[in-house]
Structure 1
Amino acid sequence: MEQALQFNIGGIKCDNDTCDYRDDSVKVEDYDKWLNKPCPKCSTNLLTEADYNNVQMLLQTAQMINSLTSEQLEALTGNIDNDEIVQMSIEMNGTGKMEFKH
């Protein structure tokens, strides 16, 4: 069965509004190395524990949903069109708040 939920998570950027630092080459599996590290440009915390924990929660949620059988997914989603592909982005700003954008 194809995965029901996929995330494309990667890269890191400074949340300081006056800083433009970003590194799109950072892989999600390396986020632990960036936890509470200062931005090389402005010294702002690049990855807060709140945002790191949210990323881990998203990954665990996808793993749990993708482990369900087709029958379990159908029971969970009811009349939702299970073939629909929805793409959205999630923005985090260091506070632990996630903003979902369609």
Structure 2
Amino acid sequence: MEQALQCNIGGIKCDKDTCDYRDDSVKVEDYDKWLNKPCPKCSSNLLTEEDYSNVQMLLQTAQMINSMTPEQLEALAGNTDNDEIVQMSVEMNGTSKMKFNIEEQ
């Protein structure tokens, strides 16, 4: 069975409004190395504990959903026949708040 939920998480950027630092080569499995590290350009915190915890929660949620049987997924989704693929992005800014944006297909 194909995964019900797929997370494509990577890269890191500075959340300070006046800074444009970003490194898209950073892999999610290396985020622990970036935790509470200063931005090379402005010294702001690049990855807060809150945002790191949110990423871990998203990954754990995906793992839990993907471990479900098709019957469990149907029950969770309200027994619909909808196989629609929805893409969304999640924005984080160091405050522990997440903004989910559904992307148009």
Distance 2:67 2:82 in 1: 15
Partner of 2:4: 4
Deviation at 1:4, TM superposition (A): 0.2
Listed as ranges, the matches of 1:87-98 within 5 Å are 87-98=87-98
Distance 1:12 1:56 in 2: 15
Partner of 1:69: 69
Distance 1:81 1:20 in 2: 44
Distance 1:78 1:16 in 2: 41
Partner of 1:15: 15
AA aligned opposite 1:76? L
Task: State the identity as a percent.
Answer: 86
Distance 2:25 2:56 in 1: 19
Q: TM-score, normalised by structure 2?
A: 0.94
Distance 2:32 2:83 in 1: 34
Partner of 1:84: 84
* 1:42-70 deviation line (CA, Å, top 9, x unaligned): 00000000000000000000000000000
Query: Which sections of structure 1, spanning at least 5 residues, go unmatched?
Result: none
Distance 2:48 2:21 in 1: 16
SS in 2 for 1:72: helix
Deviation at 1:79, TM superposition (A): 4.0
Partner of 1:29: 29
Runs of at least 4 residues off by over 3 Å:
79-82
Number of residues of Structure 1 aligned to a counterpart in Structure 2: 102
Q: TM-score, normalised by structure 1?
A: 0.97
RMSD of aligned residue pairs (Cα, Å): 0.9
Deviation at 1:81, TM superposition (A): 4.3
